[in-house]
Each structure stands twice: as structure tokens, then as C-alpha cells.
Amino acid sequence: MALFSKENQPANRNRAGRKIIHKDLKAATNLTKAHLEGLLNQHLWMTEKELHAVMVSKSAPMISKAIASIIMKAVEGGDDRRLTFILDRLIGKPKEEINITAYMQGLKKMTDVQVIDMGSDAIKFLQEKGSEE
């Protein structure tokens, strides 16, 4: 069994160890959530004239152009999906609350046999789902 050393390396080094990350992808990973939030806040407070200037600027970073474009299209076209996209990234999606009270009230009105049947159906569903995976 040969040990790897400086002289004894695998034939195809790209397959061994970590994959090579290209410089542009490595730079993209440096975009932190805080940095993105700062950019979003900055662009959301710009006037239409300022956003347009970012979009036509040859020196503006592409991330700034993309954010400006999304905001402009959201405002001009009344596209709330685009604005929701930006706000979800900025402040996070709203938490969905599940009201289990109504479900439990329905269970209380059922007979024991109905609850058992419903439970049996749920078990059957999960077993079939598990066999598909």
C-alpha cells in the first residue's frame, strides 16, 4: 500500500480531496446576509432617478444593478412578487401559524372508531410514502 507524499500523488488530482472553487464563485460566497441586507436597504431608499443611474452605470457592481432592476420592475409594473422577494430576503418570510384548535375540536366530536380509522389511514399513507422513497 503506497502512501501519498509530495512525489506520490493520485493520477487525477481533481478527483481527490476538495473540489476546486473558481475565483468568481469564491468571491460570491463572501456576500454575507448582513452585506445583502445593507445593499437592499440602500437601494430601497433610493429615488427612481438614483436607481436608474445605478442600472445604466458601467462601474456599478452587478449585484447592485440586479437589485435596482428588481425594485424598478416591482414599482413600475406593480409586481408585488418582486417586492415580496426583496423583503423576504431583507426581513425574512413571515412565520405561518397553524391553528390546531379547530382541528382538535373536530377530533373531539368524532367517535373513537372514527379517530382509530383516521389514524389507520394516516399510518397506511406514511407506509406507502416510505416505500416510494
Listed as own residue / partner, the contacts of 46-50 with beta carbons closer than 8 Å and 24 or more positions apart are 46/71, 48/72, 48/75
Of 86, 59, 62, 58, nearest in space to 72 by CA: 86
Q: Given this model, what pLDDT does residue 6 score?
A: 73
What is the number of alpha carbons within 13 Å of residue 106 lying toward its C-beta? 7
C-alpha grid cell, residue 11: 493520477
- Find the helix or strand (DSSP H, E) in which 101 lies: helix 100-109
Q: Given this model, what pLDDT does residue 37 score?
A: 82
pLDDT one digit per residue (tens) for the chain, 133 residues:
567 777 777 666 555 566 677 766 666 666 677 788 888 889 989 999 999 999 999 999 988 998 899 888 888 888 788 878 777 777 777 777 777 787 788 888 888 888 888 888 888 888 887 777 6
Q: Given this model, what pLDDT does residue 10 score?
A: 66
- Find the helix or strand (DSSP H, E) in which 19 lies: none
